[in-house]
Amino acid sequence: MEKPGTMNTQSDFIVVQQGIACGEGAINARVLKERKLYKAHSLCVAHISGIRTPPTIVLLDDIPALAEKFLASWGFPVMMRMDYASIKEGDRPLGGVSVRTMTTLVKISSWLFARGFYPILHPDYDRQKNILNANISMTPSNREILIEVVGQYFDATDLRRGIITPHEILKIDPVEGNILDRKIVSEDNYQKAREIRAAQINKHNQYNDIANKEDRMRTSLEDILPEKEKIAEIFLHIPDRYQPISRDQIKHLTSIALALQMKVVQKLPPSSSAVVASMSLMPDLGWVLWDVYGPWYQR
């Protein structure tokens, strides 16, 4: 695979099925849509459309060793997420695990397949190095674009899970590109967010250790106890102030949102409510799309 972050190519998005690794975008998009794997499907359609996505391997069969040659240029650890067509409440495993060996990857993949989940693999980017993270909310009426932003060391996934509140909220006129409304986090609330995030990073670090030891994912981190000294150390690395998003980056996100509306959202199941694109501004790579969520994706 070519260097992550360059122009998308076929080899940047692979679907493994029935002993075959396919890099043909149209075929992959059709297969993922037929299986109702809309997280992976949204990534695939965005990739085909030229919107920057992380290099991706989607495993549809319990044969992850076939993907090994495609992982060679990434090296380990590898980030593992997952997708599913249906789920019972409370049964969703927590993805984003840094899998450290091929043996562990095979075992966790088998654990997921046995429960009706499908692994999604990416290079293990250091999420603490992301400059900004954003959720872009788009409505069917397209009257406004809502952008929720969190700063460096934070994760847009925590916004969606309700763990933290946005550091900045912008409402954008999609036609004129004007900022209709803008709210920035207070100093007090940002400091509270730093504390919450430090504890969350500590939990996730412990979860990585547990997942690699147990060869499986978990559905909750509630039983993982905080490590106070490590949390205090992590807290010091989180920027002490939030730096608001620049006007240029707002324009860039707005243009990405419009491209998503035209090229990706229209190919996903119709929605009467907002759909949300999750993105990160990564050093040297620019804005990278992680997925597009809608009401079809049960959480």
Q: What is the domain partition of the chain in residue ranges?
A: 10-124, 128-185+242-293, 190-237
Say what the pLDDT of residue 76 is: 94
Say what the pLDDT of residue 90 is: 61
- Mean pLDDT, consecutive 10-residue stretches, the chain (299 aa), reads 38 84 88 93 94 94 77 92 81 92 94 94 92 90 87 88 90 88 96 95 96 95 93 96 95 92 87 87 93 77
Q: How far apart are CA 264 and CA 284, in angstroms?
A: 24
Question: Residues 196, 189: contact at Cβ < 8 Å?
Answer: no
Of 64, 86, 85, whose CA–CA distance to 215 is shortest? Answer: 64
What's the whole-model pTM score? 0.91
Say what the pLDDT of residue 270 is: 81
CA distances from residue 267 to 25, 46, 185, 201, 262 in whole angstroms, order as listed = 14, 10, 35, 35, 9
Say what the pLDDT of residue 6 is: 34
Say what the pLDDT of residue 68 is: 80
> What are the structure tokens assigned to 110, written together?
């088998």
Of 8, 84, 5, 76, whose CA–CA distance to 39 is shortest? Answer: 84
Scored b (16 or more CB within 10 A) or e, 46-81 reads bbbbebbbbbbbbbbeebbebbeebbeebeebbbbb
DSSP letter, residue 6: S
Judged on CB neighbours under 10 Å (0-12, 13-18, 19+), 83 is buried
